[in-house]
Amino acid sequence: MKLSEINGENANVELKVKILSLSRRETTTSKGETVYYYGLLGDETGVIPYTAWEFPAPIKAGDVVQIKYARSRIYNDRIRLYFDSKTEVLLKPGEDIEVKRTYKETKLMDLSLKNPFVTVTGKISNMSGKEYNKAGNTFTIYNGFIEDDTSRVRISSFGQALENGRIYRMVGARVSEFNKQLELSIGDKTEVIPEDEDMDFERYYKLFEVDNPAGGITILGFIITLGTKSGIIKRCSECNKPLANGVCPDHPDKPTKLDIFTYFTLDDGTKYIQCIAGKKAIMPFLGIKDEDLPRVAGDIYRMLEDKLYGHAVRVNADFIKSEEDLSLRVNFIAGITKEDIDKDIKVSQ
Ligand SMILES: [Zn+2]
């Protein structure tokens, strides 16, 4: 039998497969403490997850095994293989199988480190390349964003350029975590297919709906507190570090630059969340420019209080992982318009 031939419940599965991953977990059941194993296995026709209540100790990821008397069942919309005390697992030393990988079609909002390889479809933006030199070879890493109708995340591509504004389907993109957010990367094993259609996205969400570090999300809410230490901060022009006493310990000779650091609490009626915003988001909202900063520095807290505290706003922001919850890193902030309210009502219905 091949994996692609399993199509539901089968009490007597016999296969030759490659164990792709193997994890061990302890759990407490009504019978007490037990150990089970789980992971992915594959053959020339596909990959499926398995759970093993019994597993011969010497078997490890990468081994090819002959399996008899395993059971298949559908779990979470996916076929899963179960090994119990009746299942025979026989190691086939020296054998290999060319596994055909399959990847679940995933929306960007549903990315998770638990499913590290996925198929995604989205639009590329802000992509630019940087050249690196390694062992005499020059290669390029491209960094940018990918977005769909649910979220926007960072994407990096090793060697392969992607066109800004273009939609791609990516089979076998890898999910990782970077800077408290999820990120996708594509390498030489990822299949990248340009699509002809175009997409436009408006991602309005209620705070209670988001439990993932999703990016480029629009939230409408009230600012219910403004952090008292919000205002102008000095940064090193070389390393961008915020400077407590005006001098960078690593670059004491470099000039400093001014930034605005703002933190506030946003409440959208379903939940409240801590937000941070820098000058890129705040300056257009206050109607000031870089060259105004030294002049308005003494007045900035009053300006923030005036325009932010107690106001209804629309923010476009990235959710980032905080210690136990999510917080928002604000990209853009504006007053609420009638159009926003109409869209918000549409989302709520
Ligand atoms: Zn510095």
For the chain, list the domains and their CATH numbers: 3-91 (2.40.50.140), 104-195 (2.40.50.140), 207-348 (2.40.50.140)
Ligand 1 centre and the CA of 246: distance in Å? 11
Q: Supply the pLDDT for residue 100.
A: 83
DSSP state of 299: G
Cα(276) to ligand 1 centroid in Å equals 22
d(CA 157, CA 183): 11
pTM: predicted TM-score of the whole model, two decimal places = 0.68
Cβ-proximal residues to 47 (8 Å cutoff; 6+ apart), any chain: 3, 20, 40, 41, 99, 100, 101, 102
Query: Ligand 1 centre and the CA of 2: distance in Å?
Result: 59
**Residue 146 in tokens:** 């990918």
Quote the ligand 1 centre to 236 CA distance (angstroms): 5
CA–CA dist 109, 41 (Å, integer): 26
Taking the centre of ligand 1 as the mean of its atom positions, its distance from the CA of residue 278, in whole angstroms, is: 18
Q: For residue 14, which of 25, 28, 24, 2 has the smallest C-alpha distance?
A: 2
Ligand 1 center–CA 252 separation, angstroms? 7
pLDDT of the residue at 285: 95
Q: How many A from CA of 150 to the centre of ligand 1?
A: 37
* 293 CA from centroid of ligand 1 (Å): 20
pLDDT of res. 345: 67
The CA 181 to ligand 1 mean position distance, Å, reads 25
Looking at residue 236, its pLDDT comes to 93
| Residue 18 Cα to ligand 1 middle (Å) | 51
Distance of alpha carbon 333 from alpha carbon 174, whole angstroms? 32
Residue 277 C-alpha to ligand 1 middle, in angstroms?
21
Expressed in angstroms and rounded, the spacing between residue 42 Cα and the centre of ligand 1 is 50
Neighbours of ion ligand 1 (CB under 5 A): 236, 238-239, 248, 250-251
CA–CA separation, 337 and 342 (whole Å): 9
- Long-range contacts from 115-118, C-beta under 8 angstroms, 24+ separation: 115/175, 116/174, 116/175, 116/176, 117/172, 117/173, 117/174, 117/175, 118/172, 118/173, 118/175
Q: Give distance in angstroms: CA of 84 to centre of ligand 1.
A: 59
Local confidence pLDDT in tens for the 349 residues of the chain: 898 888 888 889 999 999 998 988 888 888 788 888 999 899 998 888 899 988 877 889 999 999 999 999 988 777 899 999 899 999 999 999 988 877 889 999 999 887 888 999 999 999 999 998 888 888 899 999 999 999 999 999 998 889 999 999 999 999 998 888 999 999 888 889 998 877 778 899 999 999 889 999 999 999 999 999 999 999 999 999 989 888 899 999 999 999 999 999 999 999 999 999 999 999 999 999 999 999 998 899 999 999 999 999 999 999 998 877 899 999 999 998 777 777 766 665 5
CA of 280 to the centre of ligand 1 (A): 20
pLDDT given for residue 307 in this prediction: 95
Cα distance between residue 57 and residue 24, in whole Å: 11
Q: How far is the CA of 235 from the centre of ligand 1 (A)?
A: 8
242 C-alpha to ligand 1 centroid (Å): 9
How many CB atoms lie under 10 A from the CB of residue 131?
A: 8
User: How many angstroms does the Cα of residue 255 sit away from the middle of ligand 1?
Assistant: 9
Report CA(7)–ligand 1 centroid distance (Å).
60
Residue with tokens 């991953």: 21
**Cα atoms found within 13 Å of the Cα of residue 312, Cβ hemisphere only:** 8
Distance from Cα 241 to the centre of ligand 1, integer Å: 6
CA of 253 to the centre of ligand 1 (A): 9
In the reported structure, the alpha carbon of residue 294 is separated from the centroid of ligand 1 by a whole-number distance in angstroms of 20
Q: Cα(259) to centroid of ligand 1, in Å?
A: 14
